[in-house]
Amino acid sequence: MITGSTTAAIVARGVGKSFGEHRVLDQVDLSVAEGTIFSLLGPNGAGKTTMVRILSTLIPADAGEIRVAGHDVRADAAGVRAAIGVTGQFSAVDNLLTGAENLRLMADLRHLGRRAGSRRVTELLERFDLSEAADKALATYSGGMRRRLDLAMTLVGNPRLIFLDEPTTGLDPRSRRTMWRIIDELIADGVTIFLTTQYLDEADRLADRIAVLDDGRIVAEGTPAELKRRIPGGHVSLQFSDPLELQRAAALLDVAPPQNGKLALQVPGDGTLASLRELLEQLDDASVEVEDLSIHTPDLDDVFFAVTGRSNVQPTSEEVLVR
């Protein structure tokens, strides 16, 4: 019988980790199918990096069973290491070497041999648009170039499973899109990717499956569509210039007025034309003066709010960029 089941690149059961009194990970279960991209989403301090460090053999877990690329992380760390590539949150390049030398170093450590190593280095420099800067000191590299080199170094040994810990944090929009394109290419090659991000749009854009990590626990898991489906609908936000008008609208629409003194009212609704027209007619009939109106379709932010009971403390990537 032919089954559609795929092998798992990562299986983790009941992973726990504490630093002193502080519980960073609590009973984390996750499973990543081969050839897919899995995103661990969560705010700063949720435990994402700790999870990556455990899965990539950098630190041991206190509890749990973990198999990565078919090897037990505790019993066969060397087997795991030979199969994975890791691009951490902090730049893992040798700042005293040139770009080409950094790649060469990786080729030597992967025992590619002189000829194959040189070929791989040249190939990666081209693919990551670093050929021109190949022999320049890293001090002259921009943040985006550095991040590209970092990822290129991870790919030298052709790993089939790659960990990317917040790969686009702090990048400008162009570098971010380049990074996303590279990730797309890796996926096309059949590489499995474990991605952490605090950006909802990034997880939405890239991931096959998302697990929301909050305070060391997985609070939701599913495809982006599944997660969004958990939210019944979006809302229409009405802006008022006069508090009295807001009070009237709140009474009319039977919506709780905001507690924070803002002159905005959130009316549940999916933002379809029909519902919008109905809403406007209602307001019109009662001659309520609305200054502005915006439609808010459900996104992962709402999911985050729904599963954690609070709003995601991190702005989206685009919002960070305009600051």
Partner 1 sequence: MSALAYTVTDSATMLRRNLKHQLRYPSVTVMLVAMPIVFLLLFVYVFGGQLGAGLGTHHAVHGDRTAYITYVVPGILILTVASAALGTALSVATDMTEGIIDRFRTMAIARGAVLTGHILGSLIQTVIGLAIVLGLALAIGYRPTAGPLGWLGAFGVLVLFSLALISLSAALGLAAKSVETASNTPMFLTLLPLLSSGFVPTSTMPGGLRQFAEYQPYTPVTQTVRGLLTGTPTGTHVIAAIAWSLGITAVSYLWAVRLYNRRRAADPK
User: Which residues lie near partner 1 (CB under 8 A)?
Assistant: 19, 49-50, 53, 56-60, 78, 81-82, 84, 86, 88, 90-97, 101, 105, 108-111, 137, 153, 157
Q: Of 50 and 317, which has the nearer Cβ to partner 1?
A: 50
Q: Of 72 and 108, which has the nearer Cβ to partner 1?
A: 108
Q: Of 54 and 300, which has the nearer Cβ to partner 1?
A: 54
Shortest Å distance, C-beta 194 to partner 1 = 13
The amino acid occupying position 209 is R
Contacts of 7 (CB under 8 A, 6+ apart): 33, 34, 70
Q: Of 63 and 92, which has the nearer Cβ to partner 1?
A: 92
Shortest Å distance, C-beta 113 to partner 1 = 10
Which residues on adjacent β-strands are paired with residue 212?
41, 220
Query: 305: how many CB neighbours lie within 10 A of its CB?
Result: 13
Dihedrals phi, psi of 14, to nearest 5 degrees? 60, 40
Q: Of 75 and 96, which has the nearer Cβ to partner 1?
A: 96
Shortest Å distance, C-beta 306 to partner 1 = 27
The greatest distance separating any two alpha carbons of the chain, rounded to the nearest whole angstrom, comes to: 80
Residue 277 exposed, middle or buried by CB count within 10 Å (0-12, 13-18, 19+): exposed
Shortest Å distance, C-beta 260 to partner 1 = 33
Q: Of 105 and 255, which has the nearer Cβ to partner 1?
A: 105
Q: Of 82 and 286, which has the nearer Cβ to partner 1?
A: 82
Q: Of 69 and 249, which has the nearer Cβ to partner 1?
A: 69
**Secondary structure (DSSP) of 89-127:** SS--S-TTSBHHHHHHHHHHHTT--HHHHHHHHHHHHHH
Shortest Å distance, C-beta 114 to partner 1 = 12
Shortest Å distance, C-beta 147 to partner 1 = 12
Tokens 């379809």 correspond to what residue?
272
**Secondary structure (DSSP) of 190-213:** T-EEEEEES-HHHHHHH-SEEEEE
Shortest Å distance, C-beta 87 to partner 1 = 8
DSSP tag of 157: T
CA 50 to CA 43: how far, in whole Å? 13
CA 279 to CA 302: how far, in whole Å? 22
Q: Of 101 and 301, which has the nearer Cβ to partner 1?
A: 101
CA 81 to CA 184: how far, in whole Å? 23
Shortest Å distance, C-beta 111 to partner 1 = 7
Cα dihedral 143→323→320→170 (10° resolution) = 10
The amino acid occupying position 121 is V
Shortest Å distance, C-beta 262 to partner 1 = 35
Query: 170: how many CB neighbours lie within 10 A of its CB?
Result: 14
